[in-house]
Amino acid sequence: MSTSVVLGRLGVLSKTVLGRDSQPGSVDGYLALLAPAVEGDTNLLWLSHAAIAAVFPRHDEFERFRRDQALNGALPALAALVAAAKRPFAPNRGVGIRIATDTIVVDVHHTARTGLATGIQRVVRQTILQWQGRAEVELVGWDANFTGLRHLSAPERQNALHGSVPRITRPRDWVLTIPFGTTYILPELALERGRTDRISCLAEFSGNRTTVIGFDCVPLTSSETVGAGMSAAFANNLAGLAHFDRISTISGAAATEYRGWRQMLSGAGITGPEIEPLLLPSVAEDVSAADFELARTRLLTGDDPLVVCVGSHEPRKNHLAVLYAAERLWREGVRFQLVFIGGNGWNGDAFRRQLERLQGEGRPVKAISAVSDSLLWSAYRLSYVTVFPSLNEGFGLPVGESLSAGTPVVTSDFGSMKEIASGGGAIFVDPRDDDDVYRGMRAGLTDPELHARLSAEAAALPARGWSEYADALWQYFVPTSQPV
């Protein structure tokens, strides 16, 4: 690495630490100025480590540096960092740095690069769309090796906001963005080990305010319903959050789970973050007349009532119970058509086999994976009733979305699903009892008075949009700010 790169990093670091431009002209001159200023200051030591190495440190790396500083003094410890950064195979040898002190750094790495539109991505995108008008917001992601944050490229930003430019080539030239004295917001789920290690160190030692949206603890509380390795990856995520300042969970049920985890942290002498629930909004989106008619053509066959089940085909979503109840109702002569909307999740082979068997027998059932927002919202409005008997959810977006569209829902009698639908419009069932799922679907399809009452209840529910949610979240994460 050239001396000019080192001098550039030291110049940026010196300006932040000393509050002025300093140009001593040599590495030794910069280190002589910086050493007394950072001596014994953990936050400034973290900043110095990240700035000189152009890599966010992991816990073990930072502890070695901090001990070196305590034992031998700041000057030799900083000099050792410079020497390590100059080694031929040091990471990010040619990468410059910038220190972000006047922006709120929002880490949307996965959302910016994925083509998925899961519940988490929908929450992230709707939230940052509301925040994009705030001048202080900076959307960031990580480099290819998860060594640090960087400003998003224009296509990545577009994908983060709208999901319209997936599979983006990473920019070759990038600058490490180091938050300092500001707020770091993580609105998505971070599972990558390198990423969570460095986030954990940032939260504990950098002095930044660290905040995150907590979706659920399903990989731990219902580990039998998730794919192999997910529970271990989620444990890494929780380890990364242990020193955060605040978690805003998407429901009271999710807050209960996260508070149980925080209580366990006391055994390791860790206080853990403040945890408060902020229920996600549920507002039906408008659909054009043309899109609605296209959806009708795609979703409906004949005039029988439509039942829609939204969610990926994984065990936790309980779609086999829905198929069982549907088959039983069809055999009894109850007329309706069933559409599943969602991608193929983990361990969905049994669902696909049952679906194909029923289709082979001529039953009116189908599954659609890739859908637009207009098709999804048309499906909610075209449905006579929706069904969502999940075994565990941090929120359960399809419940709130169905009710916001004025359509009754059959859903689980506990957790966030009952929390969302407590105001009316729902038939509650025990999702672990096939007969009860059958009972709920049968009532929704065959009792017109019940259906009319539930539809009226759903239509009367108060509307709360994403702008209200995003503003409340901002106030919780950045409490000194003012609403726009």
Whether 482 is covered by a domain: the verdict is no
Please tell me the distance from the alpha carbon of residue 239 to that of residue 233, in angstroms, as a whole number: 10
Strand, coil or helix: 209? strand
- Domain's final residue, options 47, 68, 91: 91
Residues whose CB falls within 8 Å of the CB of residue 234, separated by 6 or more in sequence, listed in order: 191, 217, 219, 220
pLDDT at 119: 81
Residues 273 and 344 in one domain: no
pTM of structure: 0.91
- pLDDT exceeds cutoff 60 at 482: no
Res 155 pLDDT > 50 = yes
What mean pLDDT do residues 46-66 have? 97
From residue 302, alpha-carbon distances to 159, 168, 290, 335, 364 in Å are: 38, 42, 19, 11, 10
Q: How many residues does the chain have?
A: 484
Q: Is residue 321 domain-shared with residue 276, that is, in the same domain? A: no
pLDDT at residue 483 in the model: 42
pLDDT at 163 over 50: yes
| Residue at 235 is within a domain | yes
Region 255-266 average pLDDT: 96
Number of separate helices (H) and strands (E) present in the chain: 21, 15
Least confident of 24-28, 77-81, 184-188: 24-28
Query: Residue 78: what residue type?
Result: L
Q: What is the CA radius of gyration of the chain?
A: 26
- Asked whether residue 106 falls in the same domain as residue 207, the answer is yes
Q: Do the beta carbons of residue 216 and residue 256 sit within 8 Å?
A: no
Q: Are residues 105 and 247 in the same domain?
A: yes
Domain identity same for 65 and 203: no
User: Over the stretch 402-439, which tens digit does the pLDDT of each residue have?
Assistant: 999 999 999 999 999 999 999 999 999 999 999 999 99
pLDDT tens by residue, 330-377: 999 999 999 999 877 777 889 999 999 999 999 999 999 878 889 999
What is the rounded CA–CA span in Å between residue 179 and residue 56?
Answer: 10
Phi, psi values for residue 60, rounded to 5°: -65, -35
User: Poorest-confidence range of 93-97, 109-113, 162-166, 444-448?
Assistant: 162-166
Assess if residue 432 is contained within a domain: yes
Strand partners, 275: 247
Quote the CA–CA distance of 285 and 372 in Å, as a whole number. 12
**Could you please report the per-residue DSSP string of 216-283?**
--HHHHTGGGS-TTHHHHHHHHHHHHTT-SEEEESSHHHHHHHHHHHHHHGGGT----EEEE-PPP--
Of 68, 91, 114, the position where a domain reaches its end is: 91
User: Is position 299 within any domain?
Assistant: yes
215 and 170 fall within a common domain:
yes
Q: What is the pLDDT of residue 344?
A: 72
* Whether 94 contacts 64, CB under 8 Å: no
Quick one: which of 214, 213, 211 has its CA closest to 254?
214
Residue 28 resides in a domain: yes
Measured CA to CA, the distance from residue 428 to residue 397 in angstroms comes to: 16
Does 484 reside within a domain? no
Whether residues 309 and 398 fall in one domain: yes
Does residue 143 share a domain with residue 206? yes
Residue range 84-139, pLDDT digits in tens? 999 989 999 999 999 999 999 999 999 999 877 778 998 999 999 999 989 899 99
Share of the chain above pLDDT 70, in %: 99
Q: Which structural domain, as residue segments, surrounds residue 306?
A: 289-460
Number of structural domains (the chain) is 3
Q: Under 8 Å CB-to-CB from 316, ≥6 apart: which residues?
A: 218, 222, 225, 226, 390, 391, 392
Q: What pLDDT does 222 receive?
A: 85
Do 364 and 421 share a structural domain? yes
Query: Which residues are 337's β-sheet partners?
Result: 306
Residues 447 and 473 occupy one common structural domain: no
CATH number at residue 343: 3.40.50.2000
User: For residue range 261-318, what is the model confidence (pLDDT) as tens digits?
Assistant: 999 999 999 999 999 999 999 888 899 999 999 999 999 999 999 999 999 888 899 9
- pLDDT band for position 484 (50/70/90)? very low
Residue 483 domain-assigned? no
Same structural domain, 247 and 396: no
168 shares a domain with 30: no
Helix (H) or strand (E) holding 196: helix 193-205
173 domain-assigned: yes
Given 33, 65, 91, the domain boundary residue is 91
Identify the pLDDT of residue 1. Answer: 59
User: Which pLDDT score is estimated for 224?
Assistant: 81
Taking the C-alpha atoms of residue 419 and residue 424, their distance in angstroms, rounded to an integer, is 10
